[in-house]
Amino acid sequence: MERTYIMVKPDGVQRGLVGEIIKRFEQRGYQLMALELMHPTQQHLEEHYKDLAGKGFFAGLIKYMQSGPVVGMVWAGKDVVKTGRAMLGATNPLASAPGTIRGDFSLDVGRNICHGSDSVESAEREIALWFPRGVPEYKRDISVHGLIYE
């Protein structure tokens, strides 16, 4: 089963949007595999965003991400990486369609309330970074599974 790393950023946590974001993944049919409220260090965030280290907004991004706790989650299911990104919306909320999380709840790229892995490889890297003790698998009740998957 494909997995992705979804994170509610500090602004999303402070604004009380954790439940809203969980709700959307649950109602879509995805399976929650891990969930934790965390206070990441600067070093941890720099590792998470290491591909963006050369960008002008990098320092501001790390500062924003350290402004409060985040909620990290692992979600699993069919095509969850790509579909999770679609549910989040575009990086710049002004380009995010209404109906997406960013398109419904945010305006500025530097306050876009949520993170989602951009590929299966980065999802596995991010899951290992944020949940280093591992993420145990569990089987969904067979009757529920049969109502979501054909």
Which positions are catalytic? Answer: 115
In whole angstroms, what is the distance from residue 114 CA to residue 116 CA? 7
Q: Was 83 annotated as part of a binding site?
A: no
Nearer to ligand IDP, 46 or 118 (CB): 118
- The verdict on 17 binding ligand IDP (CB under 6 A) reads no
Min dist. Cβ of residue 84 to ligand IDP (A) = 11
105 is in an annotated binding site: no
Q: Which of 117, 88, 118 is nearest to 103 (CA)?
A: 88
Does the annotation flag 57 for ligand binding? yes
Residue 134: CB minimum distance to Mg ion, A: 23
Candidates 19, 57, 68, 94; binder of ligand IDP (CB under 6 A) is 57
Least separation in angstroms between residue 39's CB and ligand IDP is: 18
Q: Is 119 in the site for ligand IDP (CB under 6 A)?
A: no
Interaction of residue 61 with ligand IDP, rule CB under 6 A: yes
9 by Cβ neighbours in 10 Å (0-12 / 13-18 / 19+) ranks as buried
Sign of CA dihedral 76, 79, 82, 83: negative
Q: Which spans in the chain are helix H?
A: 10-14, 18-28, 42-48, 58-65, 80-88, 101-105, 120-130, 142-148
Say if CB 129 and CB 123 are below 8 A apart.
Answer: no
Sequence letter at residue 44: H
Binding site for Mg ion (CB under 5 A): 118
Residues annotated within the binding site for ATP are 9, 57, 85, 91, 102, 112
Binding site for ligand IDP (CB under 6 A): 52, 57, 61, 91, 109-110, 112, 115, 118
